[in-house]
Amino acid sequence: MESNLKAYAEKIVHALETRLPNPEHPPVELSLAMRHSCLAPGKRIRPTLCIAACEAVGGSAEDAIDLACALEMIHCFSLIHDDLPAIDNDDLRRGQPTCHKVFGEAVAILAGDALFCLAFETAGKSPIPPQTLVRCFQVLSRSVGIHGVVAGETADILAEGKPVEAKLLEFIHLHKTASLISASCEIGALCGTQKSSDIHALKQYGEKIGLAFQIVDDILNEISTTEQLGKKTGSDRELGKATYPALYGIEASMKQAVELVNSARANLQSLEGNTSFLDGLASYTVERLW
Amino acid sequence: MESNLKAYAEKIVHALETRLPNPEHPPVELSLAMRHSCLAPGKRIRPTLCIAACEAVGGSAEDAIDLACALEMIHCFSLIHDDLPAIDNDDLRRGQPTCHKVFGEAVAILAGDALFCLAFETAGKSPIPPQTLVRCFQVLSRSVGIHGVVAGETADILAEGKPVEAKLLEFIHLHKTASLISASCEIGALCGTQKSSDIHALKQYGEKIGLAFQIVDDILNEISTTEQLGKKTGSDRELGKATYPALYGIEASMKQAVELVNSARANLQSLEGNTSFLDGLASYTVERLW
């Protein structure tokens, strides 16, 4: 799994390189800030899922690569804004100083905006048929704003320091993380097939591993060291964040993550293509813990 | 002109109302912040241009209304972020307290992000043919990020307090303002026709009145009162901003604006449709000064 993931990540980083503004593109500080955040080492889970979902329904990586890059750009934009002093105030991300620590708050806000915009610009260059591309735009935009990532992040910061409720916790995790991961799988599927049942199955698979992924992230934030994660740990507890371990304890949270992964793997069974990588990736989501 | 503008603005506000999240949509603070900024009184120049450009090439307002709303949402997103303490630090906008003054910095950043995203979601629901819609997405995304508004705003803040150079000043104004106004006209044209020469003429018209509009804005910032503009005045000079009056003086700046408007009006002459409103709007850009 690790070597497969590495191969996807390398392909994606290469594609990002050619789609990001070059370091001399004016304003230079903006281009450098976008590159700093988007090219920092990362697992590239979302674009990998997009490409792998496309391949699982018979499409090629080339069909999905522009959308895959768009998904990673959106993920990076959300990380830059979440790390800002006014939001989570994090100094470290992917083992590097956060964007605002290097370029200042103003440029970091604008670099996030520019990456978000570049995501749509990049998606707009995809060679897939216009009708499919419009559907991808619909899924992508719906997964990020008031129905997705931004809503989850807002609910997350508004919940800080308050008693954690199960319903709100699910809202936060479904929106903050599962939404874009689910969209990654759905968009990948759209790039490779027109078969509604396959597209739906991959969307469901994505939502479940997205939720499992966030639960595992919550657990790792509790039990890992900063060196292991490349970002500050224990910070959720300090901030009084709504997390699965805070509500259910670590053991019950792990159990929920495993159940979600098993259910996600079951969603793959209706597909005719080769789903072994996606199956392994689902398991990998929780194996990070062992 | 005033009553025509008012009629367009009313139509647009009504369309925005139905496309913004309702005030109870969770997270409530996010929905309220989005509505606060997007429904504040404004001239709605960009969506008005979009609809009027569509009509000028034989299309209907209905063909362009989703894209018009998207353009206004993007404009509002950029205002929210520009007003933030880390950027222009403005307390007043459109005669109301700025978003972060009412909802705090974190929610304001996220409300900007959510409006930006809603713009693409709204555009994605347009009934125009997918092939045209993809072209609109391309123009829209290119006009905002590293090739448009965000690049202009970044260059603007990085130039603060430094000696103003003509080339940089033009870069800032072309990107910060003219880019989205030009895109508004081009997108409106795309919604109404497939004739390349008409689309190109309206794009050129938009770029010129966009530049004229920003020059006039710079002049008004110098010579108006806060009550007249509904935002802080004299702030450009205080911040050492790169402006046309700072570089060329007020009289020469006015002359440049008038020349741009005349050139924009000339672009309309090749169109067959009714361009009297767009012609009047070009003149109105500089008439705000008299």
Write the pLDDT tens digit of every residue in B69-110.
Answer: 999 999 999 999 999 999 999 999 988 999 999 999 999 999
* Average pLDDT rounded to a whole number, residues B244-254: 92
Closest partner residue to A114 (CB to CB) among B112, B140, B150 is: B150
Strand partners, B93: B96
Domain that holds residue B203: 2-287
Nearest residue of chain A to residue B136 (CA atoms): A124
Q: What is the predicted pLDDT for the residue at B17?
A: 97
Minimum distance, in Å, between the CA of residue A175 and any CA atom of chain B: 11
The rounded distance, in Å, linking the Cα atoms of A181 and A198 is 16
Q: B70 to chain A: which residues are within 8 Å by CB?
A: none
Question: From the list B26, B117, B155, which residue is nearest A144 (CB)?
Answer: B117
| Residue A287, domain member (yes or no) | no
CA-to-CA distance for B16 and A31, rounded, in angstroms?
A: 33
Q: What is the pLDDT of residue B229?
A: 63
CB contact under 8 A, A104 and B118: no
Q: Token pair of A132, please?
A: 């499919």
In a domain, A37, yes or no: yes
- pLDDT band of B290, cuts 50, 70, 90: low
Listed range (A256-270, B155-169, B191-205) with the worst mean pLDDT: B155-169
Residue A216, C-beta contacts closer than 8 angstroms, at least 6 positions apart = A257, A285, A286, A288, A289
Say what the pLDDT of residue A229 is. Answer: 63
Beta-bridge mates of residue A92? A97
Cα distances from B220 to residues A280, B234, B237, B241, in angstroms, run 62, 9, 12, 14
Phi and psi at A33, nearest 5°, equal: -65, -40
Cis peptide before A27 (omega within 30 of 0): yes
Residues of A in contact with B67 (CB under 8 A): none
Residues of chain A contacting residue B147, judged by C-beta atoms under 8 Å apart = 121
CB contact under 8 A, A141 and B121: yes
By the 8 A CB rule, do A230 and A43 touch? no
**Which is it for strands A96-97 and A92-93: parallel, antiparallel or unpaired?**
antiparallel
Domain count, chain A: 1
Of B84, B104, B110, the CB nearest to A153: B110
Helical segments of A84-129, H only: 99-103, 105-123
The two beta strands, B96-97 and A96-97, are unpaired
Comparing alpha-carbon positions, the chain A residue that sits nearest to B121 is A141
CB atoms within 10 A of CB A243: 24
Of A84, A113, A150, nearest to B114 by CB-CB distance is: A150
Q: Is residue A154 part of a domain?
A: yes
What does the alpha-carbon distance between residue B2 and residue B4 come to, in Å, rounded to a whole number?
6
Domain-located, residue A56: yes
Residue B154 has pLDDT above 70, yes or no: yes
CA B279/CA B267 separation, integer angstroms: 10
A-chain CB neighbours of B101 within 8 Å are none
Residue B156 pLDDT more than 90? yes
| Shortest Cα distance, chain A CAs vs residue B139, angstroms | 8
Binary contact (B130, A125; C-beta < 8 A): no
In order, the DSSP letters of B70-128 are: HHHHHHHHHHHHHHSTTTT--SEETTEE-HHHHH-HHHHHHHHHHHHHHHHHHHTT--S
Distance from CA of B290 to the nearest CA of A (A): 35
Chain B residues inside the 8 Å CB shell of A147: 121
CATH number at residue B134: 1.10.600.10
Least Cα separation, residue A130 to chain B (angstroms): 5
For B118, the closest chain A residue by CA position comes to: A145
| Confidence (pLDDT) at B127 | 94
Which of these ranges, A118-122, B112-116, B213-217, has the smallest mean pLDDT?
A: B213-217
What pLDDT does A145 receive? 96
CB contact under 8 A, B117 and A171: no
Kindly report the nearest CA distance between residue B254 and chain A, in angstroms. 28
pLDDT at residue A94, rounded to an integer: 85
Minimum Cα–Cα distance from A151: chain B residue: B27
* Termini Cα distance of chain A: 15
**Cross-chain CB nearest to B81 (options A113, A140, A151):** A113
DSSP helix/strand/coil, A97? strand
Calculated CA dihedral for residues B185, B187, B190, B193, nearest 10 degrees: -30
User: How many C-beta neighbours within 10 Å does residue A102 have?
Assistant: 15
Cβ separation B117–A116 shorter than 8 A = yes
Q: Is B171 helix (H, G, I), strand (E, B) or coil?
A: helix
Token pair in block for residue A135: 């559907």
SS3 percent helix, strand, coil of chain A, rounded to 5, is 75, 0, 25
Chain B hits for A109, CB-CB cut-off 8 Å, are 81, 84, 86-87, 109
Positions in chain A short of pLDDT 50? none
Structure tokens belonging to residue A99: 């964007």
- SS3 (DSSP) at A289: coil
User: In angstroms, rounded to a whole number, what is the distance separating the alpha carbons of residues B156 and A220?
Assistant: 41
Report d(CA A195, CA B66) in Å as an integer: 29
Instruction: Give the pLDDT confidence score for residue A227 in this predicted structure.
Output: 66
Among chain B residues, the shortest Cα distance to A25 is held by B146
What residue in B sits closest to A114 (Cα-Cα)? B145
| Residues of chain A contacting B146 with CB distance shorter than 8 Å | 21, 25, 30-31, 34, 114, 117-118
Residue the block writes with tokens 């070597």: A3
Please tell me the distance from the alpha carbon of residue B137 to that of residue B129, in angstroms, as a whole number. 12
Helix (H, G, I), strand (E, B), or coil: what is residue A92?
strand
pLDDT at A68: 98
Q: Which residue in the set A30, A123, A157 is minimally distant from B106, CB to CB?
A: A157
Cis check: omega of the bond before B47, within 30 degrees of 0: no
Phi-psi label, residue B274: left if phi above 0, alpha if psi -120 to 50, beta otherwise: beta
Q: Which residue in the block uniquely carries the two structure tokens 């392909």?
A: A11
d(CA A208, CA A214): 10
- The answer to whether residue A232 is domain-embedded is yes
CB contact under 8 A, A140 and B130: no
pLDDT at B226: 66
| Mutation for A interface: B89, B122, B149, B154, most A CBs within 10 A | B154
A:B CB pairs within 8 Å: 163
pLDDT of residue A226: 66
- Cβ atoms B67, B125 nearer than 8 A: no
A141 vs B25, B117, B147: nearest CB = B117
CB contact under 8 A, A154 and B105: no
DSSP letter string, B3-46: HHHHHHHHHHHHHHHHHSPPTTSSSHHHHHHHHHHHSS----HH
Nearest to B41 by CA among B96, B112, B100: B96
For residue B224, the model assigns a pLDDT of 76
Q: Please give the pLDDT value at position A221.
A: 86
- Cα(A170)–Cα(A182) distance, rounded to whole angstroms? 15
Whether B56 contacts B202, CB under 8 Å: yes
Those residues whose C-beta lies under 8 Å from the C-beta of residue B185, and which sit 6 or more positions away, are: B49, B50, B53, B202, B203, B205, B206
What's the helix, strand, coil split of chain B in %, to 5? 75, 0, 25
**What are A162's two structure tokens?**
């308050």
Tell how many helices (H) and how many strands (E) occur in chain B. Answer: 16, 2
Q: Which residues contact B264 (CB under 8 A, 6 or more apart)?
A: B204, B205, B206, B208, B209, B212, B282
Residues of B in contact with A153 (CB under 8 A): 110
Distance from CA of B274 to the nearest CA of A (A): 31
Region B110-136 average pLDDT: 97
